Amino acid sequence: MSFTRKPHRQNSDTRAVSSTSTMIFTAPSTGAKVKMTERASPGGGDLLINISCDQRTADDVADAVGNARGREIYDDNPSAFELKALEQLKDASPALVRAINLAFSRNPAAIRVTGLPSRQPPPATPLDGVAAQDELQLPLRLLAGAARAASLVGFAYASENGGRIVRAVCPVQTEAETVSSHGAVDLGFHADNADLPVPDAFDLHPGDTKPMNAWQGFVTITPRARVPMRFMVLADAIAWMRMRRWDEHIDRLMQPEFNAAKPASHGIDAVLSNLPVLVPTRSGAMASRYHAVNITGMNRDATLALAAFGAAIEMCKAELLVPGRAGDLLFYQNPRCLHRRQAFKPAYDGQDRFYLRVYFDDVARVESAAAGRHRRVYL
Ligand SMILES: [Fe+2]
């Protein structure tokens, strides 16, 4: 399964994706193959990478990772869990680990890994929104091992998800109306943890020792085709605005003239002011703390610029839909992408749409900023 572009009428707003490049990684002993494909995002502003595993690789991974003994809880000792998962992945498929490592080194906006094994029948979708980690060993090892292959490690925020690293993205009946991954309302495009400082960027933030998560990673447990994952590369929306000479709005979005409310999932009523929405990064890319609901302008021009940006992301036709299959991994750079989930009607029957999500960041930053090497929680 490759990135699926949202169907739309062709028009002059979008550039065709022209350049793709493919590399094949082969296991010398078995001939198992892993294919890595790089291509431009729909608007040509950033890079997307697909890694697909053939059946032989999937079988090797199922043997070495799925059948490995032990039922460790990721949150109990994240370092041990991640390093062991990486070793299991290396045993199963050095080609896959090399492909993942190379993919991250290219600094793309997003990476998908497909063709990985999954447990059948799928584990039940938790009604209380808490992942039963002992029942989810294979998907969690895939997610943690793949991230660790790129020196990324999981962490949590103390005020969200009970301070746990592993988040069950699934509907919870008592949270149906919340603007969160447990809700069922339209989330609107956003970056997660938009109120926190953007990492590796020139952010005019008043200061907070804990950064916004640099990456978010998902493993698919139970996809639902009618409610796919949706995201967009920020650079595509900005390119669309530049083409229309909306530079004044872009400049305004870079000024510290916006309020950011703490996300509902943190359960804290707080608003931070004097923040920019668009922030240049050290790598030269643009990042954002855009949030359709939680960010507001502090004056008329800021409010207008925010409305223009909201219109641009709707009109630029660069949205990517990821229906996904069980076992698929998706990683994207949180400040360089926007994501959303449409409103839907959950059944609350244990079979609803279900992903596991982990916030990832560079191992050195997490270990210096988190409260405790083993807990990996930002206070
Ligand atoms: Fe989100």
C-alpha 233/C-alpha 5 separation (Å) is 12
Whether 206 has a pLDDT exceeding 90, the answer reads: no
Give me ligand 1 centre to Cα 213, in Å. 11
* Residue 274 clears pLDDT 90, i.e. is over it: yes
**pLDDT value of residue 23:** 95
119-128, 353-362, 363-372: least confidently modelled range: 363-372
Q: How far apart are the CA of 190 and the centre of ligand 1, in A?
A: 6
Q: Ligand 1 centre from 101 Cα, in Å? A: 25
Centre of ligand 1 to C-alpha 140, Å, is 19
Among 80-84, 259-263, 276-280, name the one with the lowest average pLDDT: 259-263
pLDDT at 217: 98
3-state DSSP assignment of residue 110: strand
Determine the distance separating the centroid of ligand 1 and the alpha carbon of 342, expressed in angstroms: 12
Distance from residue 60's CA to the centre of ligand 1 (Å): 33
CA of 219 to the centre of ligand 1 (A): 15
In the reported structure, the alpha carbon of residue 21 is separated from the centroid of ligand 1 by a whole-number distance in angstroms of 30
The Å distance, Cα 102 to ligand 1 centre, comes to 26
Q: How far is the CA of 233 from the centre of ligand 1 (A)?
A: 14
- Centroid of ligand 1 to alpha carbon of 47 (angstroms): 21
Pick from 202-216, 291-305, 313-327: least confident: 202-216
Q: How far is the CA of 339 from the centre of ligand 1 (A)?
A: 6
Alpha carbon of 59 to ligand 1 centroid (Å): 32
Does 75 score more than 70 pLDDT? yes
Can you tell me whether residue 244 is helix, strand or coil? coil
pLDDT of residue 139: 96
Query: Tell me, what's the pLDDT at 371?
Result: 61
Q: What is the pLDDT of residue 239?
A: 96
Q: How many residues are listed for the chain in this entry?
A: 379
The pLDDT-based confidence of 369 (bands split at 50, 70, 90) is confident
Residue 15's pLDDT is 35
171 Cα: distance to centroid of ligand 1 (angstroms): 13
Distance 24 CA to ligand 1 centre (A): 33
Inform me whether the pLDDT recorded for 278 exceeds 80: yes
pTM for the model: 0.92
Mean of the per-residue pLDDT values of the chain: 91
| Residue bearing the bigger pLDDT, 186 or 268 | 186
Name the residue among 129, 313, 352 with its Cα closest to residue 231.
313
Considering only CA atoms, which of 183, 198, 212, 220 is closest in space to residue 331?
Answer: 220
Q: Average pLDDT for residues 37-55, to the nearest whole number?
A: 96
Domain ranges in the chain?
4-189+210-234+323-378
Lowest mean pLDDT among 126-135, 263-272, 283-292: 263-272
% pLDDT > 90, the chain: 77
User: How far, CA to CA in Å, does 233 sit from each of 110, 286, 317?
Assistant: 8, 10, 11
Residue 337 has pLDDT above 90, yes or no: yes
pLDDT of residue 3: 59
Percent of the chain with pLDDT over 70: 94
* pLDDT for residue 372 is more than 70: no
Q: What is the pLDDT of residues 144-157, one digit of tens each?
A: 999 999 999 999 99
pLDDT (tens digit per residue) in 82-102: 999 999 999 999 999 999 999
Q: Where are the alpha helices (DSSP H) in the chain?
A: 55-61, 78-92, 94-105, 137-148, 234-243, 247-253, 300-315, 363-369
Q: What is the mean pLDDT of residues 57-76?
A: 89
Question: What is the Å distance from ligand 1's center to 67 Cα?
Answer: 32
pLDDT 10s digits, 207-254 = 777 899 999 999 999 999 999 999 999 999 999 999 999 999 999 999
Give the Å distance between the CA of 179 and the centre of ligand 1. Answer: 9
Choose the CATH number for 4-189+210-234+323-378 among 3.40.50.1260, 3.30.70.100, 3.40.50.720, 3.60.130.10.
3.60.130.10
pLDDT given for residue 185 in this prediction: 94
Cβ 325 vs Cβ 50: under 8 Å: no
How far is the centre of ligand 1, averaged over its atoms, from the C-alpha of 234 (Å)? 15
What three-state secondary structure class fits 137?
helix
